[in-house]
Structure 1
Amino acid sequence: MKKYKNGEIWRFEKEEDPGTGTGSSVILGLDGGTTSTICVCMPLLPSSVPYHHLPDSLPVLARAVAGCSNHNSVGEPAARDTLEQVIAEALSKSGFSRSAVRAICLGVSGVNSPTDQERILTWLRDIFPFHVKLYVQNDAVAALASGTMGKLHGCVLISGTGCISYGFAEDGREARAAGVGPVLGDWGSGYGIAAQALTAVVKAHDGRGPQTMLTNSILHTLGLSSPDELIGWTYVDPSWARIAALVPEVVSCAEAGDQIANKILVDAVRELALSVKAVVQRLQLCGEDGNGSFPIVMVGGVLEANKSWDIGKEVINCILEEYPGACPVRPKVEPAVGAALLAWNFLMKEQGGNCHS
């Protein structure tokens, strides 16, 4: 297989599968979130390829998408079914069998403890041959790797349906902040922003809060005629992603000058920045003088540019006030590819090769 970058030919040679003795080898990377789950299949990169020479456009043989794989959100049976489905589809599209897989790294939301990791590892051991190396991480780790091309250093901030900050120091220490779900207060997430907007509409309707443009905007978007109908709409299916989808309405109202919507976004920026600062402080990523350089990988729909009210930009500005050495990074590859790069690095480390993590 060849991959071209700036006129240079990249060759990814076929390597013999140690489990079967024949055929090409592949690696799998999986990004499992609350909204969707993505699995990519890539050829096994030669150990001779140096980290700093990885091409921007990595060879992806196949890509598959499925639903939520967070067991806290949909339950263990549904989460397992989703993981098995998306892995099977990616392999089917690539034309490879499970025996051709050398390593797979899953970055899955809801993986918060060794117990969570072992649960998923048990699922995987039931479907993969013994020679396949299995690695399970929180989805934030895969997102960080997507911005650093597989090098685990710095901090990642994710804000989509949920939110989390996760970081690694050069010596391997790691730390996290937030990522505890809506009940325990991920207020900088899409769910948190939208839930506060819905609350503001209800308060305005019954006289407990000021009037807001959010009322007409959200009712129009949902096709409802009265705030009273929000009760039925919310509880008929209180899925996190469904509610988080209302974030664009909050941004639009804030851009139009609505003070309630603006405050919701300002509070979200503060919460997101605080989560990053907590990780930076615990890992001392900024160095002893506070001016050290480190990457902050920005991932998730909430952090994407939204016209004039750019939540991601405001978060970075808030962080730079305290940590001027922070370097914001927008990933060139998706988290699922970051997970595949982690699988490659972990595999090279076990084999004593050129691990870049």
Structure 2
Amino acid sequence: MNNYGESNGDLNVHEKQVEGRDHGENGDGSGNGVILGIDGGTTSTVCVCIPIFPSSNTLPKPLLVLGRAVSGCSNHNSVGETAARDTLEEVMAEALSKSGSNWSTVHAVCLGVSGVNHPTDQERILNWLREIFPSHVKLYVQNDAVAALASGTMGKLHGCVLIAGTGCISYGFAEDGREARASGAGPVLGDWGSGYGIAAKALTAVIRAHDGRGPQTLLTNKILKALCLSSPDELIGWTYADPSWARIAALVPEVVSCAEACDQVATKILVDAVQDLALSVKAVVQRLGLCGEDGNGFFPVVMVGGVLEANRTWDIGKEVVKCIQEQFPGAHPIRPQVEPAVGAALLAWNFLMKESTENCHS
């Protein structure tokens, strides 16, 4: 998932690593094989391996994670298809190795990856996965926002998710299966509520203040100190030397600090970001009718990403929720207790259970 910092937090899961054993054949609860869940973002890619739990309405607590691996970017729009494929294959292999499992024990894979914006994107990735896994393995490809939603609803597709990390997107599902999204088109097309968008506006404000086009701001000294630069002129070289989204988004904490010090420029940047993020959620809610006919219906809003973390006085996530609930009082914010990669794995598990039930009734 796209965070501006390392912010997986407490996953409320138990990771069990056993060397040299095949979990598909022992008594640890995974005798029916394993499931891989992958959260592939612009900043990093996470893969978890979980056992196939017995079909029931309740999941075990704590949720058993057999293995977990982390690698780099797997967004094909950012690094190209070959590099994205290599990253995904590498992270799956490592998670299986850590779990003591192997490719033959995999029964299902759910890949939630950023950059999947069209059925052709899904089909291209599915074709690649089919080259790796036997035909009996169930394969599911979703946008990474879907995995993030599932991390808050424990694998159920209902409600809305707001992701605000390096990038941002809002994605939702109605109970009848209809889905909608807003934002998520990248910084060039205006994801201004994202970590990248916030930091890019801050860098722009520093340049404008330096050349006389904008007001003076605490952002100048704060950002220069953070980057070990001596002059705003040096920001130009720093920015274009490596214009990666995550590198720029890492400056968000500096913007928040300046806003907490009552800097008007920084405060306006954050207020605008809050409005933009809330607007993306509102657009999805209205298109899907999640709020009901009277506008007061209950629905979950899963909050994911470093920008939304409640660890500062100027709490972006809290302000976004306040803005959403002014229009939709039934919006219920959820901070996931598991990471999006686990959400992807739970999606695959739910899909498997649904198919199993349908086959039993056919």
On whether the aligned pair clears a TM of 0.5, the verdict is: yes
Q: Distance in 2 between matches of 1:16 and 1:286?
A: 47
Q: What stretches of structure 2 of length at least 5 have no aligned partner? A: 1-11, 13-22
> Are the aligned partners of 2:24 and 2:105 in contact in 1 as well (CA < 8 Å)?
no
Question: Once the two structures are superposed, what CA deviation does each residue of 1:81-112 show, in whole Å capped at 9, x if it has no partner?
Answer: 11011001001111111110000101001100
CA-atom RMSD in angstroms: 1.8
Hey, what does 1:308 align to over in structure 2? 313
Q: Distance in 2 between matches of 1:56 and 1:191?
A: 36
How many residues get paired? 336
1:348 shift after superposition:
1.7
Hey, what does 1:8 align to over in structure 2? none
> Where do residues 17-36 of structure 1 align in structure 2 (5 Å cutoff)?
24-36=32-44
Q: Distance in 2 between matches of 1:234 and 1:216?
A: 16
SS in 2 for 1:183: helix
SS in 2 for 1:59: strand
Hey, what does 2:104 align to over in structure 1? 99
1:294 shift after superposition:
0.3
The alpha-carbon distance between structure 1 residues 110 and 223, as it changes in their structure 2 partners (threshold 3 A), is: same
SS in 2 for 1:351: helix
> Where do residues 34-183 of structure 1 align in structure 2 (5 Å cutoff)?
34-47=42-55, 49-50=56-57, 53-183=58-188
> Are the aligned partners of 1:32 and 1:109 in contact in 2 as well (CA < 8 Å)?
yes
1:352 shift after superposition:
2.2
1:243 shift after superposition:
0.3
TM, length-normalised to structure 1: 0.91
2:347 pairs with one of 320, 342, 346: 342
> Are the aligned partners of 1:165 and 1:279 in contact in 2 as well (CA < 8 Å)?
yes
Hey, what does 2:221 align to over in structure 1? 216
Hey, what does 1:201 align to over in structure 2? 206
> Are the aligned partners of 1:251 and 1:306 in contact in 2 as well (CA < 8 Å)?
no
Question: Once the two structures are superposed, what CA deviation does each residue of 1:281-336 show, in whole Å capped at 9, x if it has no partner?
Answer: 00000000000000000000000014210000000000000000000000011100
Equivalent AA in structure 2 for residue 199 of structure 1:
T
Hey, what does 1:230 align to over in structure 2? 235
TM, length-normalised to structure 2: 0.90
Equivalent AA in structure 1 for residue 155 of structure 2:
G
> Are the aligned partners of 1:219 and 1:226 in contact in 2 as well (CA < 8 Å)?
yes
> Where do residues 264-275 of structure 1 align in structure 2 (5 Å cutoff)?
264-275=269-280
> Are the aligned partners of 1:98 and 1:129 in contact in 2 as well (CA < 8 Å)?
no
> Are the aligned partners of 2:24 and 2:101 in contact in 1 as well (CA < 8 Å)?
no
Q: Distance in 2 between matches of 1:193 and 1:156?
A: 20
1:74 shift after superposition:
1.1
> Where do residues 290-309 of structure 1 align in structure 2 (5 Å cutoff)?
290-309=295-314
1:354 shift after superposition:
11
Equivalent AA in structure 2 for residue 341 of structure 1:
L
Hey, what does 2:15 align to over in structure 1? none
1:227 shift after superposition:
0.6
> Are the aligned partners of 1:273 and 1:319 in contact in 2 as well (CA < 8 Å)?
yes
Equivalent AA in structure 2 for residue 238 of structure 1:
P
1:317 pairs with one of 313, 322, 325: 322
The alpha-carbon distance between structure 1 residues 228 and 15, as it changes in their structure 2 partners (threshold 3 A), is: closer
> Are the aligned partners of 1:348 and 1:354 in contact in 2 as well (CA < 8 Å)?
no
> Are the aligned partners of 2:24 and 2:34 in contact in 1 as well (CA < 8 Å)?
no
Q: Which runs of 4+ in 1 moved over 6 A?
A: 14-17
Identity, % of aligned positions: 80
Equivalent AA in structure 2 for residue 317 of structure 1:
K
The alpha-carbon distance between structure 1 residues 128 and 219, as it changes in their structure 2 partners (threshold 3 A), is: same
Question: Once the two structures are superposed, what CA deviation does each residue of 1:244-281 show, in whole Å capped at 9, x if it has no partner?
Answer: 00000000000001000000000000000000000000
Question: Once the two structures are superposed, what CA deviation does each residue of 1:133-178 show, in whole Å capped at 9, x if it has no partner?
Answer: 1100000000000000011000000000000000000000000000
Question: Once the two structures are superposed, what CA deviation does each residue of 1:209-255 show, in whole Å capped at 9, x if it has no partner?
Answer: 01100000000000000011111110111000000000000000000
> Are the aligned partners of 1:62 and 1:91 in contact in 2 as well (CA < 8 Å)?
yes
